[in-house]
Amino acid sequence: MTAIIGITATLAILSLAVIFGTDVVGTLVQRSVYADLEDRALVQVVGRGHYYADRRMPAIGIPGTILTAATAAAAFAWGTPPAGILATVGFVLVVTWLLVYARVAKPINATLTAAALADEVPADTRALQARWESILPLRVALLGAAIALLSVALLLV
């Protein structure tokens, strides 16, 4: 049964790593690139990026969230409580990431996507982008810690 825990943990880590990597690139690279763009270009690039990401990334993130919970449940069910505790804390971190995304990023994504598709430039474009970018360090920390906890849980099984 530890094989099931290992499989769920490994797949959760791989899934969450995609989202984590995207947030890291946003933090280290995209913020600087976007700062150099004029507002119309910023809206087009960011808005269209969100258009596709908001439709495609859930296919990666949802399984990662479910697999993180499954890892915790399996670890407790099959007698590996330390791994279960670590995976549970990791799951709480992933859910926290989702709440931050839903409350801050998603509404901004929707606004910039709509503006890009309508070929409009909101007056508060820079403020919206600054708010979106302001949560990147938190998002990176939450998923980085969740992945680290799942990795340690994997070592314990």
The confidence score (pLDDT) of residue 113 equals 98
Opening angle at CA 57, ends 62 and 86, nearest 5: 40
Give CA–CA dist 74/63, Å, rounded.
16
Quickly list DSSP for 80-99: -HHHHHHHHHHHHHHHHHHH
In order, the DSSP letters of 24-41 are HHIIIIIHHHHHTS-HHH
Q: pLDDT means per 10 residues in the chain (157 residues)?
A: 91 98 97 97 98 97 98 96 98 98 98 98 98 98 98 95
pLDDT number for residue 157: 87
pLDDT at 149: 98
Q: How far apart are CA 80 and CA 48, in angstroms?
A: 44
